[in-house]
Amino acid sequence: MANKTTTPSSSEGLAEAEKVTVTIDGREVAVPRGSLVVDAASSLGIHIPIYCAHPKLDPVAVCRMCLVRVGKMPRLQPACATVVSDGMVVTTQSPEVAKVREGMLEFLLLNHPLDCPVCDRGGECDLQDFAVRYGPQTSRFPITQKSHAAKAVVLSDKIELDQERCILCWRCTRYYDEITGEKELVLVRRGIDTVIDSFNGEPLTSDFQGNLPEVCPVGALTHRQYRFQARPWDLQRTKGICPECSYGCNINIDARDFEIKRFASRDNPQVEDMWLCDRGRYSVEKWSHGSRVRHPLIRAGGEVREVGVDEAVAEAARQLGEVLRLHGGGAIGVIGSPMLTNEELWLLQRLARETLDCHNCDHQLDELGNVSADEHSLGIAEIEDCETVVVLGAEPEANTPVLTLRLHKAQLRRGVEVRRVEHDASPASLGIKGKRLVGVIADEVHRAYAADMADALASGNTLVKRLTVTRGVNGRGAKDMGMLPTQGPGYSRVTGGKDGRQILHAASAGAIKALLLVGAETVLRGAGILAEKALAKVDVIIAIEPRAGIVANAASVVIPGHTYFEKRGSVTNVEGRVQRVSPALPPATAAPQETRVLAMLAAALGATGWGTGDPFEVNTMLSQAIDAYRGAGNGGRALWKRQGEPR
Amino acid sequence: MFKEIIKGMAITLRYGLSRPITVQWPEEQKPATPRHRGRHILHRYYNGLEKCIGCELCAAACPVGCIYVGPAENDPLNPVSPGERYAKRYEINLMRCIFCGYCASACPTEAITLGPQCDFANYRRERTVLTKQELLEAWPKFERSRGDMNQRGAGADQRSTGKSLNPGPSPRLAWEAQADETHEAPLPGHGGIPVNVPGVIDPSEESRA
Ligand code: SF4
Ligand code: SF4
Ligand code: SF4
Ligand code: FES
């Protein structure tokens, strides 16, 4: 039943598959054995309209939209469920097929409301598109005799259902069956009265509801968050990476009038496999609101002065240089944030270590144990190749929710054994023996447990790979870049400095005289009263900060920063995949991007060889400095040498 | 030759003595033809609900892209338009409009038409971007808003019966009372556009301040 070829799980698998040759509309094509006719046709660029079929779901062939003539079979066959065989001859363009398509569309439109002008799907709706392309141009049924069903049914705080618009393709129910494993939507009643509804009429509770409007081919299921926000043609689409966690889900950022209207999935089979979680998808509103720092400011003697960027940078360099001269680099603390790009983090740690001679740099509050490149050797898609996956505690799936879907897929399609255990479960009690590949997944707080578990499970034939879930969109990149107190770029050991919390403690005790904070507002807020004490005590606070808040209010020099959606650069996800981000919104400030400001600051402090701080230039520099990043490019994984294993 | 000169002078004389067709605009106004395509009007149903459903089809059809529609969801207990959706913001940049009327053809509810008014000159550029409130047909005082002196142009060419229509009970009386006030006194000399027209709101300022 499970058709694995339609959902290639990893890059392997397809490569060695045997090919068969089929003829579609007179053109020959060689496709892997087991492919479906609809996929073979699309590889030739021949479009077959589908409704119930979905690339990530098993075929059911209920909608009959895809009927085509296959060889000498007596009736037309559904292309979405017919597997190719050698020498098969398929006709998709003939009067016979066209007539059937017209008929199917006429049926579908029979009771479909004339809602297009008010429907959120209008403009990107398969029913509209196919009706124009393949449908009858007129209707033989009077509009007044349409049968009606409930409209604007609120299924949950996130999803709204219009039962009239539903074409009963079952994609939504199958999504729940096959992708999340929850069963929240059902078909109720029979015949012409059949409608989709939630099970027992209860509100949906899934964490992955936001995918429903995307699987629905029509406007029956829609987002409450995106309700009547825009038309698809209003939207400016930018490729991006979801800002909510470090899983690195690929998204399309759809903005209208400089305001993000929605996040849509952008299928990357290696990462999120086109499914997003609701936390990420509906985090849209955060990014359009909140007050911003717009101009560089210098605060002196209780007075705030608006200045130009050059002046602010010069003043910052003067203040930092003075502290450096009087008290040395040990009296400076540098705090970044996991929301920064690799380029910014790399420059920031370089500025701290090389120019300011300071080892107190961190991107979070606490150094959570010894970090190593080993802790993310397991790729996300590789989970499906494991025989057993051990998940320590609930945090990995709570922090990166889409992981749950990958585990479910691995279980359902590949028979992977998923063991969810306590953090301190004893490896012996799990009884994992004689496996080829075992995955161990933990969050970064419990990375020590995961290391022990991996050591205990590894034996002669068993290869154990680990995946450590970091926090913040670029939590992994921050570690790779060496924005850590005890480790430099590429996890090299360096002279130990203070971690985030220790910096704040030292600052409130007076031992640290200057703070350089880049986008650190959220990190510092996490420290509560301690951060406020530190900010009140220290005189020299240089902040590059996009948002107004405790940092911008206390800093002696504020340079406006850019939010995550306003900058260029790359971020690294949990498995070490380096993905590019580019601005989806125009910056709210005229100040240059952080990388450039950092380069200016370094130059003002007397450093040479920093270049202009152009993100691309910095990216080139950092890939030369860090081996693993050299081959990563955009979208590849930074592959690290495993300890004790040449690779 | 002499004859030709006489002939030519006769024509000049004839026109010189006849009544001129020039009118003393703006003191004197000529009625617009019924299908004149001038300043736009957003219409209402007789119960006061707006016809516009915020579908943005006019904006999509507009060849110069001078219409901005910001849709929103109706409060079912106090709807602005029938159905689920209405236009919260509706703006037309008259300086860009080429008065082709495509918007009116595209509209599924006949909410927008082009009216009789064609004098848009203004001292302030922002005022040439009409807001929804300016485009909208006044309500409930239909008869006054449709009188000859209605510089707002709303519906003047559409139904010039002059008969007063009872607008009937409306769920939006409170809103209308306020709207009515602003429709009350068009300032002379400004093409009917009140001086305190809200300027073009820079969306970036509005939402990301
Ligand atoms: S709601 Fe959408 S996805 Fe579900 S059956 Fe109806 S049309 Fe298909
Ligand atoms: S008349 Fe033509 S140019 Fe003017 S708003 Fe309508 S569609 Fe646009
Ligand atoms: S005026 Fe008509 S076409 Fe334009 S948004 Fe309103 S209903 Fe749609
Ligand atoms: S797409 Fe093939 S039957 Fe529905």
Give the minimum alpha-carbon distance from A122 to chain B in angstroms, rounded to a whole number. 9
Q: What is the pLDDT of residue B152?
A: 37
Cα Rg for chain A, rounded, in angstroms? 28
Q: A320 near A328, Cβ under 8 Å?
A: no
| Residue pLDDT, tens place only, A330-388 | 999 999 999 999 999 999 999 999 999 999 999 999 888 788 888 999 999 999 999 99
Q: Give the least confident one: A158-167, A370-379, A466-475.
A: A370-379
pLDDT tens, position by position, B23-54 = 887 777 777 777 888 889 898 887 778 899 99
Q: CA A552 to CA A549: how far, in whole Å? A: 5
Q: Are A270 and A574 in contact (CB under 8 A)?
A: no
The pLDDT tens digits for A512-556 are: 999 999 999 999 999 999 999 999 999 999 999 999 999 999 999
SS3 labels along chain B:
CHHHHHHHHHHHHHHHHCCCCCCCCCCCCCCCCCCCCCCEEECECCCCCECCCCCCHHHHHCCCCCEEEEEEECCCCCCCCCCCEEEEEEEEECCCCCCCCHHHHHCCCCCEEECCCCCCCCCCHHHHEECHHHHECCCCCHHHHCCCCCCCCCCCCCCCCCCCCCCCCCCCHHHHHHHHHHHHCCCCCCCCCCCCCCCCCCHHHHHHC
| Contact state of A228 with B203 under an 8 Å Cβ cutoff | no
Residues A228, B60: C-beta atoms closer than 8 Å: no
Give B136 Cα–ligand 3 centroid separation in angstroms. Answer: 12
Who among A118, A233, A291 is closest to B84 (CB)?
A118
pLDDT of A604-636, one tens digit each? 999 998 999 999 999 999 999 998 998 888 899
Specify the pLDDT at position A287.
87
Q: How many CB atoms lie within 10 A of CB A302?
A: 5
Does ligand 2 lie within 6 Å of residue B59's CB atom? no
- What is the arithmetic mean of pLDDT over A38-62? 95
A343, A349, A353, A354 alpha-carbon torsion, rounded to 10°: 20
Distance from CA of A229 to the nearest CA of B (A): 6
Res A13: pLDDT: 46
Nearest CA in chain A to B108: A117
Q: Which residues partner with A580 through β-bridges?
A: A570
Q: Is A200 left (phi over 0), alpha (psi -120 to 50) or beta?
A: left
pLDDT of residue B139: 61
Q: Does ligand 2 come within 6 angstroms of the Cβ of B98?
A: yes
On the question of pLDDT at B208 being above 50, the answer is no
Residue A137: the pLDDT is 86
Closest atom of ligand 2 to CA, residue B92: 5
> What tokens were used for A497?
């400095």
Cα B57 to the center of its chain, rounded Å: 18
Q: Give A-chain residues touching B91 at CB under 8 angstroms.
A: none
Residues 6+ apart with CB under 8 A from A189: A195
Atom of ligand 4 nearest to the CA of A78: 2
Predicted local distance difference test score (pLDDT) of residue A642: 61
pLDDT confidence of residue A510: 93
- Residue B162 scores a pLDDT above 90: no
A-chain residues within 8 Å CB-CB of B73? 227-228
Summarize pLDDT for A561-611 with one digit per residue, the tens: 999 999 999 999 999 999 999 999 999 899 999 999 999 999 999 999 899
CB atoms near residue A333 (< 10 Å): 28
Kindly determine whether residue A258 and residue B54, on different chains, have CB atoms separated by under 8 Å: no
Please tell me the distance in Å from A530's CA to the nearest CA on chain B.
29
pLDDT-based confidence at residue B194 (cuts at 50, 70, 90): very low
Phi, psi values for residue A440, rounded to 5°: -125, 120
- Is the per-residue pLDDT at B115 higher than 70? yes
With beta carbons less than 8 A apart as the criterion, state whether A134 and A107 touch.
no
Tokens of B20: 């001129």
B203 to chain A: nearest residue by CA? A257
Residue A442 has pLDDT above 90, yes or no: yes
Asked whether the predicted pLDDT for residue A240 surpasses 90, the reply is yes
The stretch A68-88 carries a mean pLDDT of 94
Q: Identify each DSSP E strand in A325-436 by its residue range.
A: 332-335, 361-362, 388-392, 417-421
Pairwise CB contact (< 8 Å): B60 & A231: yes
- Quick check: CB of B80 below 6 Å from ligand 3? no
Report yes or no: A461 and A436 within 8 Å, Cβ to Cβ.
yes
Token readout for A131 is 């009706």
> Is it the case that residue B197 has pLDDT exceeding 80?
no
Task: Return the structure tokens found at A406.
Answer: 């990958």
CB-CB under 8 Å, A122 with B71: no
Joined tokens for residue B49 = 């609900």
Instruction: Give chain A's domains with CATH numbers.
Output: 19-93 (3.10.20.740), 297-364+481-632 (3.40.50.740), 373-469 (3.40.1010)
Task: Supply the mean pLDDT for chain B.
Answer: 71
**Distance from the alpha carbon of residue B83 to the mean position of ligand 1, in angstroms:** 22
**Alpha-carbon torsion A421, A426, A430, A432, what sign?**
positive
User: Does residue B149 belong to the interface with chain A, where contact is any CB pair within 8 Å?
Assistant: no
- The structural domains of chain B, ordered by start, are 23-166 (3.30.70.3270)
Q: Does B79 touch chain A (CB under 8 A)?
A: no
pLDDT surpassing 70 at residue B195: no
CA of A645 to the centre of ligand 2 (A): 69
**Separation of CA A63 and ligand 4 centre (Å):** 5
How far apart are the CA of A90 and the centre of ligand 1, in A? 28
pLDDT band at B141 (very low <50, low <70, confident <90, very high): very low
CB within 8 Å of chain A, chain B residues 26-55: 53-55
- The confidence score (pLDDT) of residue A120 equals 95
Phi-psi map region of A330: left, alpha, beta (phi>0 left; psi -120 to 50 alpha): alpha
Residue at A630: amino acid letter: R
Q: List the one residue out of A391, A385, A393 whose CA is nearest residue A416.
A: A385
Task: Cis check for the bond before A587: say yes or no (omega within 30 of 0).
Answer: no
Rounded to an integer, the average pLDDT of A213-224 is: 96
E strands, A473-568, are 514-518, 540-545, 557-560
B207 and A292 in contact by Cβ < 8 A? no
**In the Cβ-directed half-sphere of A528, how many Cα atoms lie within 13 Å?**
1
**DSSP3 helix / strand / coil % (chain A, rounded to 5):** 35, 20, 45
Cα of B159 from ligand 3 centre, angstroms: 20
- Which of A280, A227, A225 shows the shortest CA–CA distance to A252? A280
CA of A306 to the centre of ligand 4 (A): 63
Least confident of A243-252, A392-401, A565-574, B25-34: B25-34
SS3 assignment for A8-77: CCCCCCCCCCCEEEEEECCEEEEEECCCEHHHHHHHCCCCCCCCCCCCCCCCCCCCCCCEEEECCCCCCE
Measured between beta carbons, the chain A residues lying within 8 angstroms of B72 are: 228
Whole-number pLDDT of residue A19:
93
Residue of A nearest to B82 (CA): A118
In this predicted structure, what is the pLDDT of residue A295? Answer: 92
Task: Decide if A619 contacts A570 (C-beta within 8 A).
Answer: yes
Ligand nearest to the CA of A65: 4
pLDDT, tens digit (0-9, with 9 covering 90-100), for B174-184: 334 444 444 44
Torsion sign, CA atoms A225, A228, A229, A230: positive
Out of B55, B73, B203, closest to residue A259 by CB = B203
Indicate if ligand 4 lies below 6 Å from the C-beta of A50: yes
Q: For ligand 2, say whether the CB of B106 is within 6 Å of any of its atoms.
A: no
Q: Are A365 and A499 in contact (CB under 8 A)?
A: yes
Q: How confident is the model at residue B83 (pLDDT cuts 50, 70, 90)?
A: confident
Residue type, A592: P
- Give A262's strand partners: A254
Cβ pairs A/B, distance under 8 A: 49
**What is the CA B144 to chain-centroid distance, rounded?**
15
Write the Ramachandran bin of A644: left for phi over 0, alpha for psi from -120 to 50, otherwise beta: left
Residue spans of alpha helices (H) in A330-394 = 342-350
Q: Which two tokens stand for residue A175?
A: 């999504």
Whether the CB of B130 sits within 6 Å of ligand 2: no
Q: How far is the CA of A169 from the centre of ligand 4 (A)?
A: 8
A229, A257, A588 member nearest B203 (Cβ):
A257
- What is the residue whose two structure tokens read 């609101």? A289
Of the candidates A85, A139, A137, A81, which has an alpha carbon nearest to the alpha carbon of residue A113? A139
Instruction: Please say whether the beta carbons of A363 and A338 come within 8 A.
Output: yes
- Chain A contacts to B (CB-CB under 8 A): 117-118, 122, 151-152, 227-231, 233-234, 257-259, 288-292, 586, 588
- How many CA atoms lie within 13 Å of A599's alpha carbon, on the beta-carbon side? 16
Which range among A356-365, A531-540, B1-10, B134-143 shows the weakest confidence by mean pLDDT?
A: B134-143
CA angle A137, A143, A148 (to 5 degrees): 120
Closest Cβ opposite residue A152 in set B84, B207, B209:
B84
| Dmax (CA) of chain B | 83
Tokens of A195: 């409608």
Determine the Cα–Cα distance for residues A264 and A249; give it in Å rounded to an integer: 10
The residue-averaged pLDDT of B133-159 equals 49
CA atoms within 13 A on the CB side of A62: 11
A185 pairs with which residues across the strands?
A198
Between A460 and A48, residue with greater pLDDT: A48
Higher pLDDT, B155 or A602: A602
Instruction: Give the number of the ligand closest to the Cα of residue A41.
Output: 4
Contact between A545 and A560 (Cβ < 8 Å): yes
Q: What residue owns the CA closest to ligand 3's atom 6?
A: B52
Cβ-nearest to A117 among B55, B59, B209: B55
CA–CA gap between residue B183 and residue A445 (Å, rounded):
64
Ligand nearest the Cα atom of residue A160: 1
Q: Which residues of A371-386 are buried (b: 16+ CB within 10 A; e: fewer)?
A: bbbbbbbbbbbbbbbb
Say yes or no: B73 contacts chain A, CB-CB below 8 A: yes
